[in-house]
Structure 1
């Protein structure tokens, strides 16, 4: 029986081998990664699926993160994207700078997610009047500009600048104000558990001193209640910080800000509750509309692009501009009384 089946399969392959060869070659060709990336509207992530807080209040609606889909193009996907107005095609070097590896980009985005979550915890608990404190702050190099004149490496933990202790990003920004353009400064770092002295040449941008790097902070956040934050390995970046902080605040206070609504927000958050700009706001609005969200909070610096997207597509969603988290809280507290 088995021998007959084997002979039958062998006969079919022999008679149709050209077809099978073409099929295999076609499958390989269609799955070749092209030097392009495709960006598309993603979806929403209910914050309650990523965070839980001890003895938190119930929520009638939801706070949601919006995300962008990003993937390497293949022949079928790039053809589809070319004819789809909701998708955009970017050159590989526009997404992965020539001075960086994919691994370095992933490291930065993971570090930024960690920083965003820690800031969100601190801001949410502080605004709610709960006990919260910070300790063990560290500063890392997470991006180096192409034109930076430095031997700093991504992943360096900065300890000192010219013997001045660095415990937060603002320390570095303040210290380099003392120097002049083209000054070479010594920066002591830890890299792979080794203490190394790096150098950086100061440059001028918009009338301020820079060394051409982006810094990311990590810190230990001690809270009055047990908190569990659990993001997937595939999720990263800083743009969920604001809505995480807003959700944490809502969990800790008796008045439910959601008013039963599906609320979406995007933007970074710092320790003072300021909301910073992000990328991909157009895709995020489209994702929110697709998921039938009621309100979309957008950073002030992204508002014009967001408004253009809403107006051009005649989307039925309430767009709210915010500079800091307090403005969002005030808006939602007044929502039911404002007739919106």
Structure 2
């Protein structure tokens, strides 16, 4: 029985081997990845669907975050990018810092999303006059500059600097404010759950004394009422912070700041309510337009200028609002 089946398969292959080889070649050509990434206009995430709060008020409209779609380059996608002006090809070094891998960048972006969510909870609850408490806070190293003089590693949790306990980035700034370039500092860190002492020699950049690292603040937050946020594993980065804080605030207050409108925005948020700039504004604006948004909220500065320029160049029918703080956004939305 087995012999007959084998002979039949062999016969079919002999008769059609050219077709099989062609299919294999086409498959390889279409799926092999190149060291490039392609950025394209993304879609919208309705933040109302990602936030769950006990006793939340009803919302008529929607608060949405815009995102950039990033795909790994293959031969077909590279060919499409030649004919689609909205598809931009980037080298890997264009999307990662010097001295880091793409895995390091993804690790950092996921931590930044977590930080962004917690900042949004703090800001949204505070603005709504509801109870929110930071129960714990720690700092994680997410990038080490190639020129820095330190044995710190990505993932190190900073416990203290020169014997002074560190809970947030302001604590580090306080330690460094009386230091000068060339000074050495000693850092107690947790690396793979082991407490170690590490050293850094400070340097000066743009008039400021720095270590030469990037850090992310990891917080644990408790609220009354309880809030839950759900994001996909594929989602990362801090640029949804502003819209998440607005969605949380809106669920906690009786007045619906959407007024039934489809509102899209982008921008980071810190735990004081300050809005920070983001990348990929042209892709996000295009995604908002494609999905029928009426209002697009962006950080003031270059992001706002770029959005206005793109609106005028393409004759987009959308209202663009620049904000520097969550208060700016709330004041505008309340007056709709």
Equivalent positions of 1:60-71 (< 5 A) are: 60-71=60-71
Supply the distance in 2 between the matched residues of 1:103 and 1:238 (Cα, whole angstroms).
Answer: 17
1:77 aligns with 2:82: no
Which residue number corresponds to residue 193 of structure 2?
193
Which residue number corresponds to residue 207 of structure 1?
207
Which residue number corresponds to residue 245 of structure 1?
245
Which residue number corresponds to residue 223 of structure 1?
223
| Closer/same/farther in 2, CA of residues 312 and 146 from structure 1, 3 Å limit | farther
1:317 aligns with 2:318: yes
Do 1:82 and 1:89's aligned partners in 2 also have CA atoms closer than 8 Å? Answer: no
Do 1:138 and 1:217's aligned partners in 2 also have CA atoms closer than 8 Å? Answer: yes
Task: Between 99-108 and 59-68, report the one with greater CA deviation.
Answer: 99-108
Supply the distance in 2 between the matched residues of 1:261 and 1:125 (Cα, whole angstroms).
Answer: 23
Supply the distance in 1 between the matched residues of 2:222 and 2:104 (Cα, whole angstroms).
Answer: 29
Supply the distance in 2 between the matched residues of 1:292 and 1:214 (Cα, whole angstroms).
Answer: 37
Do 2:51 and 2:247's aligned partners in 1 also have CA atoms closer than 8 Å? Answer: no
Aligned residues: 335
1:241 CA drift (Å): 0.7
Q: Return 5+ residue gaps in structure 1 as ranges.
A: 336-340
Supply the distance in 1 between the matched residues of 2:266 and 2:66 (Cα, whole angstroms).
Answer: 7
- Which deviations, in whole Å up to 9, do the C-alpha atoms of 1:257-280 show, x marking residues without a partner? 001111111111111100001111
Task: Between 179-188 and 254-263, report the one with greater CA deviation.
Answer: 179-188
Which residue number corresponds to residue 303 of structure 1?
304
- Which deviations, in whole Å up to 9, do the C-alpha atoms of 1:300-335 show, x marking residues without a partner? 131111212222111111100000000111101111
1:148 CA drift (Å): 2.2
RMSD: 1.7
Which residue number corresponds to residue 333 of structure 1?
334
Do 2:98 and 2:145's aligned partners in 1 also have CA atoms closer than 8 Å? Answer: no
Supply the distance in 2 between the matched residues of 1:8 and 1:152 (Cα, whole angstroms).
Answer: 63
1:148 aligns with 2:136: no
- Secondary structure of residue in 2 paired with 1:178: coil
TM-score if structure 2 supplies the norm length? 0.95
Q: Return 5+ residue gaps in structure 2 as ranges.
A: none
Supply the distance in 2 between the matched residues of 1:25 and 1:260 (Cα, whole angstroms).
Answer: 52
1:275 aligns with 2:275: yes
Which residue number corresponds to residue 338 of structure 1?
none
Task: Between 26-35 and 10-19, report the one with greater CA deviation.
Answer: 10-19
Which residue number corresponds to residue 165 of structure 2?
165
Task: Between 239-248 and 173-182, report the one with greater CA deviation.
Answer: 173-182
- Secondary structure of residue in 1 paired with 2:149: coil
